[in-house]
A and B are shown apart, each in its own frame.
Chain A
Amino acid sequence: MADEVVLLDTFFSMFGMRARLALAEKGIEYEYKEENLGDKSPVLLEMNPVHKKIPVLIHNGKPVCESLIIVQYIDEVWKDNNSPSLLPSDPYQKAQARFWADFVDKKLYDAGRRLCTTKGDELETAKKDFIEVLKLLEAELGEKSYFGGENFGFGDVALITYSNWFYSYETCGNFSVEEHCPKLMEWVKRCMEKESVSKSLADPKKIYDSILVFKKKHGFE
């Protein structure tokens, strides 16, 4: 029986990109459906009635929601495909990978959002917080090629999808990520050499354009 895989997503979402990336890593064919978050489709509302958010992976008609849960699901279902697991097999290493993915979600998203939507003192605080989080992540990366060690893994998937938003954060906050976290930017470039990554991430300038539209719409100028 052929697998039917559909992804409900929006092009600029760093959460949606994680799902795309995991599918690409496993070489899974799927149908991509772009959602308009200002006018949510009946499919989205039916498949994610609790949160009404993207991404939603629909596998043979059954929905999986929440980006990191989707990535773990993809990693488990297609574990025999010709690519190493995104999550390590050792329970302790797995726990560490999950911890850092969770850290990214708890700290980076909020600081990034504030960078794009605030001014003055609030913006300066957001910038400080954002850089602090990146520095902590850079320290965790250390001398490793990837957060997963030798291989691109779960922690890398969680964070790399923010990298195409860096241009937007830097422009809004008037700072340079490379200046504060050069090793992290090296890691970004290393990840971007992987085809699965470069084809899953959106164009940074297009993301910035969509942020400008959002800011205008919601009066954040």
Chain B
Amino acid sequence: MAANKVVLLDCHFSMFGMRARIALAEKGVDYEYREQNLFDKSALLLEMNPVHKKIPVLVHNGKPVCESMNIVEYIDEVWKNNNSSSLLPSDPYQRSQARFWADFVDQKVRLFIYYLFIAPILCRKRMWLKKGEEQEAAKKELLDALKLLEGELGNKRYFGGDSFGFADVALVPFYTWFYAYENLGNFSIEEHCPKLIEWGKRCVQKESVSKSLSDPHKTYEFIVGLRKKFGIE
């Protein structure tokens, strides 16, 4: 039997890439990590993801799997006999709930991106808007989404219940970007969503998570650099 060859095309600071890394770490899968330059995409990336040309891409024995939560589900299924519990529960109803909340995170991702990158540009361009108006609206929407997630978490240890699961994987990479949002937006997420911050700290205690997430301070510097590139501040 041929050895499993697993390659991950990724970018260190990508929240989507982190999801794939966490899933691979949870299952203890050996893989080759290949950092991609999204401003100069490699021939391999374009070949493996011709449709979207995005990372992450998991290449398993030469065959590509694209879209981060799709990758997570694939990893959970292929390596299901490894010494770790499934990320997705076995009960169909619980599975549907896990998928729903992971999808909710994805639907709201645009808010995070909008807040950090689009709103500041719009503020600058639309001179008739009071300074910061777009930013404030985006910040409110973002906090509303986080509060909803905190409500769903309730008193559970994880979104998955007692075990770290699919929806936790979907959301935890955003935790590493919180520091950047707070600094750039001058607000405290902990103040609005203390239980969510507790959950984040609990997740980061897991080795699979801590070794897969980028450092929050370095992430902040990366985002500042990226914003400068787009002409913000």
Contacts and interface: CB of A to CB of B under 8 A. Distances in A.
Contacts of A66: 99-100, 103
A64 to B, nearest CB: 5
B92 A73 contact: yes
Question: A-side binding surface: helix, strand, loop or mixed?
Answer: helix
A94 B65 CA distance: 10
A92 B95 CA distance: 19
A70 B93 CA distance: 10
A183 B187 CA distance: 54
Given A69-B99, A72-B99, A95 B70 contact: yes
Interface stretch (B4-12, B72-80, B210-218): B72-80
B59 to A, nearest CB: 12
Interface in B48-80: 51, 60, 63, 65-67, 70-71, 73-74, 77-78
Interface in A99-139: 99, 102-103, 136
Contact of B67 (A73, A92, A102): A102
Nearest to A65: B100
B104 interface: yes
Interface residues of A, number: 21
A99 B96 contact: no
A59 to B, nearest CB: 7
Contacts of A77: 92
Interface string B99-131: 110011000000000000000000000000000
A95 B65 contact: yes
Give the interface centre of A72, A95, A136 by most chain B CB atoms within 10 Å: A95
Contact of A59 (B63, B67, B93): B93
A106 to B, nearest CB: 8
A102 B100 contact: no
Contacts of A98: 67, 70, 73
Nearest to B49: A99
Contacts of A76: 92, 95
B92 A103 contact: no
A94 B104 CA distance: 22
B184 interface: no
Contact of B70 (A59, A65, A72, A102): A102
B65 to A, nearest CB: 5
A73 B51 contact: no
Contact of A69 (B60, B70, B78, B100): B100
A91 B78 contact: yes
Contacts of B103: 66, 69
Given A50-B148, A91-B74, A94-B77, A72 B66 contact: no
A136 B78 CA distance: 28
Contacts of B70: 95, 98-99, 102
Contacts of A91: 74, 77-78
Nearest to B102: A69
A102 B51 CA distance: 12
A95 B96 contact: no
A76 B97 CA distance: 14
Contacts of B95: 72-73, 76
Contact of A64 (B67, B93, B148): B93
B77 A99 contact: no
Interface of B: 51, 60, 63, 65-67, 70-71, 73-74, 77-78, 92-93, 95-96, 99-100, 103-104, 148
Question: What are the nearest 5 A-B pairs in CB distance?
Answer: A76-B92, A91-B77, A73-B96, A95-B74, A64-B96
16 contacts: A50-B148, A59-B93, A62-B93, A64-B96, A64-B100, A65-B100, A66-B99, A69-B96, A69-B103, A73-B93, A92-B63, A92-B74, A94-B77, A95-B65, A98-B67, A99-B67
